[in-house]
Amino acid sequence: GQQVMQIPQYQHVQEGEDFTTYCNSSTTLSNIQWYKQRPGGHPVFLIQLVKSGEVKKQKRLTFQFGEAKKNSSLHITATQTTDVGTYFCAGPGDSSYKLIFGSGTRLLVRP
């Protein structure tokens, strides 16, 4: 079945350092969504990317969709302790409006 792979599994950074998580699919994706889950919380929608090569920014977060629409990345500039959590990418499944979630990248930030 369709899979969405994420790397790395964990990232431990010093506050102020940058962070990047990568998402890869074996098939072309019509779109990709990103979610953040704080420790003990539930996933919260961050953004959806649709166009090939698309780049979107939300303050210190930069999201990119690959030219071939098979990969995506989330980059955080100058991490803060509020960025702690697990970041998931999610791609479309085989039925309408179904999402397949990646395994997530857990970000830990040392103050």
Q: Cβ(28)–Cβ(4) under 8 Å?
A: no
Q: Cβ(102)–Cβ(55) under 8 Å?
A: no
Cβ-Cβ contacts under 8 Å for 64 (sequence gap 6 or more): 49, 53, 54, 55, 72, 73, 75
> Nearest distance from residue 93's CB to other proteins, in Å?
7
**Residue 26 near other proteins by CB under 8 A:** no
- For other proteins, give the closer residue by CB, 101 or 108: 101
Q: How far apart are CA 70 and CA 18, in angstroms?
A: 23
- For other proteins, give the closer residue by CB, 59 or 94: 94
- For other proteins, give the closer residue by CB, 97 or 111: 97
Cα-atom radius of gyration of the chain, to the nearest Å?
13
> Among 14, 30, 95, 111, which residue interacts with other proteins (rule: CB under 8 A)?
95
**Residue 85 near other proteins by CB under 8 A:** no
Footprint of other proteins on this chain (CB under 8 A)? 33, 35, 41-45, 48, 88, 90, 93, 95-104, 106
